[in-house]
Amino acid sequence: MKKFIFILCACLVVLFVVWLVLRFNKTNSNEVVYDGGYVASVADESIVIYDIDDLEAQAWEVIPQGGFDYIRGGAETENTMKRNEMAFDMVDIYPRVLTGVNEPDITTEILGIDISLPVIVAPAAAHGLAHVSAEAGSARGAAASGTIMSVSTYASSTLEQVAQAGEGAPQWFQLYLSKDDAANRNLIKTAEDLGYRAIILTVDAPVGGNRVSDARNNFKFPLAMPNVPKKSGKTKGQGIGAIFAAAQNELGPYDVMYVKSLTDLPVIVKGIQHPDDAEIAILAGADAIWVSNHGGRQLDGAPASFEVLGEIAERVNKRVPIIFDSGIRRGQHIFKAIAMGADVVAIGRPVIYGLALGGWRGVVSVFDYLKADLERVMWLAGTQNIDDIKNINLRKRCETKWCE
pLDDT reported for residue 24: 37
Class of 67-403 in CATH: alpha beta
Q: How many helices (H) and strands (E) does the chain have?
A: 15, 14
For 363-387, write each residue's pLDDT tens digit: 999 999 999 999 999 999 999 999 9
CA distance 29 to 45: 12
Q: Which band of pLDDT confidence, cut at 50, 70 and 90, is reported for residue 84?
A: very high
Mean pLDDT, the chain, whole residue set: 91
User: Tell me, what's the pLDDT at 8?
Assistant: 53
Residues 6+ apart with CB under 8 A from 93: 332, 335, 336, 339, 377, 380, 381, 394, 395
The Cα 70–Cα 62 span in angstroms is 14
pLDDT single digits (tens) 97-140: 999 999 999 999 999 999 999 999 999 999 999 999 999 999 99
In angstroms, the CA 188 to CA 295 distance is 25
**CA–CA gap between residue 226 and residue 366 (Å, rounded):** 27
Q: What percent of the chain has pLDDT over 70?
A: 90
Segment 182-196, tens digit of pLDDT? 999 999 999 999 999
Residues with catalytic roles: 294
Model confidence pLDDT, tens digit, residues 388-401: 999 999 999 865 45
Listed in sequence order, the residues at least 6 apart from 191 whose beta carbon sits closer than 8 Å to its beta carbon are: 159, 173, 199, 265
pLDDT at 110: 98
- For residue 279, with 0-12 CB atoms within 10 Å meaning exposed, 13-18 middle and 19 or more buried, which class applies? middle
Q: What is the pLDDT of residues 38-80, one digit of tens each?
A: 999 999 999 999 999 999 999 999 999 999 999 999 999 999 9
| 376 contacts: CB under 8 Å, gap ≥ 6 | 331
Of all residues in the chain, what percent carry a pLDDT higher than 90? Answer: 83
Report whether pLDDT(229) > 90: no
pLDDT of the residue at 34? 76
Top pLDDT among 15 and 342 is at 342
Q: Give 343-365 pLDDT, tens digit per residue.
A: 999 999 999 999 999 999 999 99
d(CA 318, CA 342): 10
